Chains A and B, each alone.
Chain A
């Protein structure tokens, strides 16, 4: 037999502004551990500027060559695999296809670890296609063309 709701909060009519005050109100869970990697020189400048903003657990890097090592914004070089420990999202930022090899390495490492990947193409015109080709296989979501502000906006939205 179909049961009928007895109280307002036991039916869909509870979705009112008045009922909203009874929702459980606890602090939002800890912010996400996010890694942001600039894949080329032009992107590195943008990533460095965004890194200067106030973030929770986001860390920012540049990368060269195969991508097995990342360079922090303070200049320290660290192994990629160490930096992916406990991470839940990696954002790859490209302005060209110069970082294609590194994107493939990082993308593969993230896939193995079940880490969500996003890509931003910080360029317009002819370079877009090349940068897209480099990122497309490895980024679960791509924003193109993106601006520096988009990177900051994405990171804020996911509580990085």
Chain B
């Protein structure tokens, strides 16, 4: 359980909030690069950390992320024309460049300097991998760009999707570091999902339904390890890294691509889930890519032209009671991503953590909350840069490994949980 004030501290990310200030220390995904596919393409409305912004790509290929609303009368610039190196308001023709600087006010004398004094709030927008990243913090404190392996491998080795999730970012993240739910909620997918099935690790997963857990502190966040019995005298370990504030990776299975998520608050009751799959040493196959596009693995099938899942709260997530009875899906909801989303959204927009009943196996969640709270307070009170800002903290991997009983997992996976260019993932 959490006290109300701690729950509010952790879940509120708008301007001026403690957790909002914490998020503003990091580069965050603002949108997928595919959303701005070419110069002068249609602008995109972006809401992030409760700020309404507009993303566009100008005639010269520069990306901009600026206040959505025109300084003149406050209309949305989304209706504007993206042309000749700027976005022009559809109402009276005021024009802004990617820095938010007003460059033209047609009603004012051309020789005047009126527009030089008009500038919208703007944030950097930089393409790294398949994602356009932004930084909403103090420009003087802007950290180096993200170094997560999935955005650093060659394009043909990586794929990223995104989906809208209708709940607070924290309850979505907590699902990502809660390894114990996999045994139940996702049990059907170990046998059937083309991006999961066929690994020896799946047998260990299914053969031991009561895993032990170890939670280890790291410089950037946590390592959360689930331990199951393997062959005689051996344990099967699945190790999930969490990098603050909201990056996790799922331990690999066989030679399948490795996947993970970044959760980004839209506002306090909605978040984006950026979901990636990559292989450290080989291109993704056509089969793998088609399965990812179709919503298998940890991806979702979205309503065409949107990032809203086809199965959503308006249609009861296309619940299939017969599939639930047959054991194909433990919850009756199809697909790992929507199985998670359906239950996390069912908790309500912001779950009341004063009423929860945690158990000892929730230690990963307990520790993550503590680290977030302490980092937010240390930032607010002493200006301490939080864990996860340093790109060194991004160079992590998940791992699946079999170790002798006597070998601590921290020692056994020491190399395996570090991203090493050109070296395959450690997997079972």
Tell me the A residues contacting B by CB distance below 8 Å: 5, 11-13, 15-17, 19-20, 28-29, 89, 91, 116-118, 129, 132-133, 136, 139-145, 149-150, 153-154, 156-159
Closest-by-CB residue of A relative to B319 is A12
Instruction: Please report the C-alpha to C-alpha distance between residue A144 and residue B313 in the assembled complex, in whole angstroms.
Output: 39
| A157 pairs with B213, CB closer than 8 A | no
**Would you give the shortest CB distance from B384 to chain A, in whole angstroms?**
17
| B217 at interface, CB cutoff 8 A | yes
Q: Are A16 and B349 in contact (CB under 8 A)?
A: yes
Chain B residues near A28 (CB-CB < 8 A) = 1, 355, 357
CB of A40 to closest CB in B, whole Å = 19
Q: In the complex, what residue of chain B is closest to A144 when comparing beta carbons? A: B216
Report the Cα distance A26→B349, complex, angstroms.
20
Contacting pair B349 A154 (CB below 8 A): no
Q: What string of 1s and 0s marks CB contacts (under 8 Å) between B52-88 and chain A? A: 0000000000000000000000000000000000000
Q: Assuming A11-B316, A140-B360, A154-B360, what are 18 further A-B pairs, CB within 8 angstroms?
A: A12-B316, A12-B345, A13-B313, A16-B348, A20-B349, A129-B408, A136-B214, A140-B210, A140-B213, A140-B361, A142-B212, A143-B363, A143-B367, A144-B216, A153-B366, A156-B1, A157-B1, A158-B358
When distances are taken between beta carbons in the complex, the residues of chain B under 8 Å from A17 are: 269, 348-350
A11 / chain B contacts, CB cutoff of 8 Å: 313, 316
Count residues of chain B with CB under 8 A from any CB of chain A: 39
Q: Which residue of B lies closest to A17 (CB)?
A: B349
The digit string for B181-217, where 1 denotes a CB below 8 A from any CB of A, is: 0000000000000000000000000000010111111
Taking the complex as formed, is B281 at the interface, i.e. its CB lies under 8 A from any CB of chain A? Answer: no
Q: When each residue 323-365 of chain B gets 1 if its CB lies under 8 Å from chain A and 0 otherwise, what string results?
A: 0000000000000000000100111111010010111111100
A29 to B358, CA, bound (A): 12
Q: Give every chain A residue within 8 A of B212 (Cβ-Cβ).
A: 136, 139-142
What are 30 pairs between A and B in contact, CB < 8 Å?
A11-B316, A15-B166, A15-B313, A15-B346, A15-B347, A15-B348, A17-B350, A28-B355, A89-B360, A91-B360, A116-B360, A116-B361, A117-B360, A118-B360, A140-B213, A140-B360, A141-B213, A141-B361, A142-B213, A143-B367, A150-B370, A153-B366, A153-B367, A154-B360, A154-B363, A156-B1, A157-B366, A158-B357, A158-B360, A158-B362
Q: A142 contacts B215, CB within 8 Å?
A: yes
Tell me which residues across on chain A come within 8 A of B347, comparing CB atoms: 15
Among A13, A89, A141, A156, chain B packs the most CB atoms within 10 A around the CB of A141
Query: Please, which residues of chain A bring their CB within 8 A of the CB of B357?
Result: 28-29, 158-159
Q: Is the CB of A89 within 8 A of B359?
A: yes
| A12 and B342 form a contact (CB under 8 A) | yes
Give A19's nearest chain B residue, CB to CB: B348
C-alpha spacing A32/B347, complex, angstroms = 23
Chain B positions within 8 Å of A5 at CB level: 316
For A141, give its contact among B350, B360, B370 (CB under 8 Å): B360
> Once A and B bind, how many residue pairs between them come within 8 Å at the CB atom?
102
Expressed in whole angstroms, the Cα–Cα distance for A149 and B370 within the complex equals 10
Answer yes or no: B232 CB below 8 A from chain A CBs.
no
* Residues A158 and B359 in contact in the complex (CB < 8 Å), given A12-B345, A15-B313, A145-B217: yes
Closest to B321 in A: A2
CB A94 to nearest CB in B, in angstroms, measures 14
SS class of chain A's interface: helix, strand, loop or mixed? mixed
B317 at the interface (CB under 8 A from A): yes
> With a CB–CB cut-off of 8 A, which chain A residues contact B5?
none
Known contacts A133-B406, A156-B1; decide if A12 and B358 are in contact (CB<8 Å): no
Q: Contacts of A157 on B, CB cut-off 8 Å?
A: 1-2, 358, 362, 366
> Which DSSP category, helix, strand, loop or mixed, fits chain B's interface?
mixed
Residues of B within 8 A of A19 (CB): 348
B366 cross-chain contacts in A, Cβ below 8 A: 153-154, 157
Report the bound CA distance from A117 to B363 in whole Å: 12
Query: 4 tightest A-B contacts by CB?
Result: A118-B360, A12-B313, A141-B213, A142-B214
B185: shortest Cβ distance to chain A, in Å?
16
CA distance A124 to B99 in the complex (A): 48
Chain B residues whose C-beta falls within 8 Å of the C-beta of A20 in the assembled complex: 348-349, 352
Provide the residues of chain B in CB contact with A117, threshold 8 Å: 360
CB distance from A148 to the nearest CB of B (A): 12
- Chain A residues, CB < 8 A from B348: 15-17, 19-20
Answer yes or no: B381 CB below 8 A from chain A CBs: no
Residues of A within 8 A of B216 (CB): 144-145
CB distance from B84 to the nearest CB of A (A): 44
User: In the assembled complex, which residues on chain B have CB atoms less than 8 Å from the CB atom of A132?
Assistant: 408
| B287 contacts A by Cβ under 8 Å | no
Q: Is B110 an interface residue (CB 8 A)?
A: no
In the bound complex, residues from chain B placing their C-beta under 8 Å from that of A143 are: 214-215, 363, 367
Q: Does B314 contact A (CB under 8 A)?
A: yes
CB distance from A21 to the nearest CB of B (A): 10
- CB-CB under 8 A from A144, the residues of chain B are 214-217, 410
